[in-house]
């Protein structure tokens, strides 16, 4: 028996069937931890080994370069004679580049075209906005790029975009889009969105070219099919030949990227597009204990729009999933850290313990707690709370108000948001300060007084200095508290308006982070004590050697696995997220449930779900209601308890607001709901 035979024999029954059924349209519904990549790779090796096709006659599409590289390396172990085992194995973008290099002339481009990165795009858009005399604050590059990406994901060039009942903003953005596409063509350049879109246009408009590739690709294999968007799916459909030998692998229950354009419809309608589709379900999980799988399966079964499967394992039942209720978010951070310290630290590697949050601002309370007790941690796919740009901006404003000689803070915010104070003006302020032994603020005042600075920069700088004086008066004369002061600063500086006008996920996260900062500030008596706290928190040596607890969003966790997973903040409005439900209704709710499924199935041995009865949000205590998802967890697989008893909770060193009375008569809905469940 050769190595390839061994490879196939080591598969389970369902995996083997999915590998050997090579002909016609196939949909492999692969549950979490079911060996999806192994099946896809083995299928590819099998096709080549059986001489059903030469390696260059197989199109194999992955979602990341890392996945493509790993698959190539795996295939090369079994397919000899080539340094690049499967030439047409790669991401949608990398394969599209190969198509376009060969056929650029058919689209009116040269084959040596440039691929624009994000910075190139921003620069080009800024120039267009300036040239069209549009308000740069209103028409930010991020906002325009967001809309352009949306149109391109739907396969729309500027002349194909239809605007119905939209305001002048969208019309103006569409005008920028048209000019942008004209400019990129003049530059002989494509952006990332163009790579797939222009391939589709190439195949639609040039049937002879399309036919070449349809005849060449005897088999098409696609990984992570549930994450494809409209234009990627169209790209695939155009390349399928009359034999319809297309095999797509994925998990509809892990479709969590609609905000990036992914359409679960592609997965659910696959058998409608390809009538003779064979569906294979990989339901045996090799990662998690049965209790974890039962909880995940029970939860996701509440979704209507799914192909359907039930995960099982040959592993033992394992420990029940822990469900915990806390008084507030701070208690949740304490409880979680106590569980790690008391029960988990000596049993599991910290590298194999993770905390998965719905929104990135949630990491703050955990970070503060871990810093306080010395538990090392890392943020995966993000930045530590006090290192985030918007947080540093806010703190720089506060530092400058507190201390006018804080030159580092001055330099960070003097032109943030933009006040027409360019680099040459800032350099002039620096040089004058050095020459006259002044701080930057005093140097600026003197330059204005002597009329030595450019007129436009002078107006912006004078406005900024007047605001600083006003805010200092708010603090010292009007006795406005430091929390309210930051809100005033953000409004009067125009900082919050900039974030609110740029309606994309990144800026929504920034706004959430600032709201969390306002909550954190409420815990301190005055501005000085808060600034001191931040300085100490950020100066603590966080580069501990060795192991670290992982903190990340559920979105960032997809594809990863850990021995122990904590899932805090399961409260209505936070998870499922209110915005998702408001914008997408039932579809939004189902995607949030899929996100919960992804979170739970990251756990191999232990999973902890928790919620708080109260959250400190934007300076106020807010009653929380336990997430509706908690009601959907199966009782027989859940252990309801608390990490510490009531007395320990009240006596811990990370005390919650003592002004907050917690009387039996005023129990929150979340508490009442929890009590009903445990009785």
Query: Which residues are catalytic, by number?
Result: 36-37, 223-224, 254, 602
Residue 214: which of 237, 239, 233 has the closest Cα?
239
Are the CB atoms for 30 and 227 separated by under 8 Å? no
Helix axes of 505-521 and 363-373: crossing angle, nearest 10 degrees: 50
Instruction: Tell me the C-alpha distance between 394 and 490, whole Å.
Output: 8
- Torsion, Cα 47 52 54 59, to 10 degrees, reads -60
- Confirm if 55 and 79 have CB atoms less than 8 A apart: yes
Q: Count the Cβ atoms, other than its own, within 10 Å of residue 542.
A: 16
- For 35, 36, 197, 300, 377, the CA distances from 286, given in Å and listed in that order, are 8, 11, 38, 19, 27
User: Tokens 């993770």 map to which residue?
Assistant: 354
Long-range contacts of 380-388 (CB under 8 A, 24+ apart): 380/354, 380/550, 380/551, 380/552, 380/556, 380/557, 381/552, 381/553, 381/556, 382/552, 382/553, 382/556, 384/542, 385/361, 385/513, 385/516, 386/534, 386/537, 386/538, 387/538, 388/510, 388/513
- Cα gap 123→145, rounded to integer Å: 11
CB 334 within 8 A of CB 622: no
Determine if the peptide bond prior to 417 is cis (ω within 30°).
yes
Radius of gyration in angstroms for the set of CA atoms belonging to the chain, rounded to a whole number: 28
């Amino acid at each position: 028996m050769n190595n390839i035979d061994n490879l196939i024999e080591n598969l389970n029954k369902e995996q083997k069937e999915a590998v050997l059924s090579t002909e016609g349209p196939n949909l492999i519904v692969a549950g979490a931890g079911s060996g999806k990549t192994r099946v896809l790779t083995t299928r590819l090796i099998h096709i080549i080994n059986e001489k059903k096709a030469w390696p260059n006659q197989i199109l194999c599409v992955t979602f990341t370069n890392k996945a493509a590289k790993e698959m190539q390396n795996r295939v090369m172990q079994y397919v000899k004679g080539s340094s690049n085992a499967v030439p047409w194995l790669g991401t949608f973008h990398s394969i599209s580049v190969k198509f376009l290099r060969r056929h650029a002339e058919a689209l009116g481009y040269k084959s040596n075209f440039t691929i624009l990165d994000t910075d190139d795009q921003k620069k080009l858009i800024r120039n267009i906005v300036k040239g069209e005399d549009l308000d740069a604050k209103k028409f930010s590059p991020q906002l325009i790029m967001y809309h352009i990406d949306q149109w391109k994901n739907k396969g729309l060039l500027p002349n194909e975009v239809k605007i119905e009942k939209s305001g002048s903003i969208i019309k103006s953005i569409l005008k920028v889009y048209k000019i942008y596409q004209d400019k990129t063509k003049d530059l002989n350049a494509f952006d990332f969105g163009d790579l797939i879109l222009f391939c589709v246009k190439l195949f639609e408009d040039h049937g002879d070219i399309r036919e070449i590739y349809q005849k060449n690709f005897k088999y098409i294999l696609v990984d992570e099919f549930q994450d494809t968007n409209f234009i990627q799916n169209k790209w695939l459909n155009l390349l399928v030949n009359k034999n319809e030998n297309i095999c797509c692998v994925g998990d509809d229950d892990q479709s969590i990227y609609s905000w990036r354009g992914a359409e679960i419809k592609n997965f659910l309608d696959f058998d409608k597009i390809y009538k003779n589709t064979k569906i294979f379900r990989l339901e045996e999980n090799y990662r998690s204990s049965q209790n974890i799988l039962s909880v995940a399966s029970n939860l996701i079964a509440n979704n209507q729009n799914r192909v359907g499967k039930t995960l099982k394992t040959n592993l033992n039942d394992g420990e029940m999933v822990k469900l915990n209720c806390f008084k507030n978010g701070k208690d949740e951070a304490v409880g979680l850290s106590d569980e790690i310290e008391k029960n988990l630290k000596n049993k599991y590697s910290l590298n194999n313990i993770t905390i998965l949050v719905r929104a990135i601002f949630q990491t703050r309370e955990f970070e503060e707690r871990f810093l306080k007790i010395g538990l090392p941690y890392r943020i995966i796919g993000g930045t530590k709370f006090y290192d985030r740009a918007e947080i540093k901006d806010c703190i720089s404003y506060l530092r400058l108000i507190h201390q006018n000689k804080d030159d580092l803070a001055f330099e960070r915010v003097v032109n943030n948001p933009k006040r027409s104070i360019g680099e040459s003006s800032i350099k002039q302020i620096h040089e004058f300060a050095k020459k006259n032994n002044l701080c930057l603020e005093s140097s600026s005042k003197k330059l204005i007084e002597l009329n030595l600075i450019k007129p436009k920069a002078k107006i912006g700088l004078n406005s900024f200095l007047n605001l600083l004086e006003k805010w200092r008066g708010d603090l010292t004369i009007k006795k406005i508290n430091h929390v309210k002061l930051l809100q005033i600063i953000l409004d009067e500086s125009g900082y919050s308006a900039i974030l609110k006008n740029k309606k994309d996920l990144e800026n929504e996260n920034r706004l959430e982070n600032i709201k969390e900062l306002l909550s954190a500030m409420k815990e301190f008596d005055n501005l000085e004590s808060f600034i001191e706290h931040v300085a100490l928190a950020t100066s603590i040596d966080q580069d501990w050697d060795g192991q670290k607890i992982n903190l990340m969003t559920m979105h960032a966790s997809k594809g990863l696995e850990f021995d122990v997973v904590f899932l805090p903040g399961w409260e209505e409005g936070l998870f499922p997220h209110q915005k998702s439900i408001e914008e997408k209704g039932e579809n939004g709710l189902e995607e949030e449930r899929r996100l919960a499924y992804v979170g739970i199935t990251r756990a191999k041995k232990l999973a902890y779900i928790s919620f708080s009865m109260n959250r400190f949000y934007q300076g106020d205590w807010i009653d929380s209601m336990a997430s509706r998802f908690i009601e959907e967890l199966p009782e027989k697989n859940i252990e309801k308890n608390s990490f510490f008893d009531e007395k320990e909770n009240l006596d811990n060193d990370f005390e919650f607001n003592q002004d907050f009375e917690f009387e039996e008569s005023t129990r929150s809905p979340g508490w009442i709901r929890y009590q009903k469940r445990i009785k």
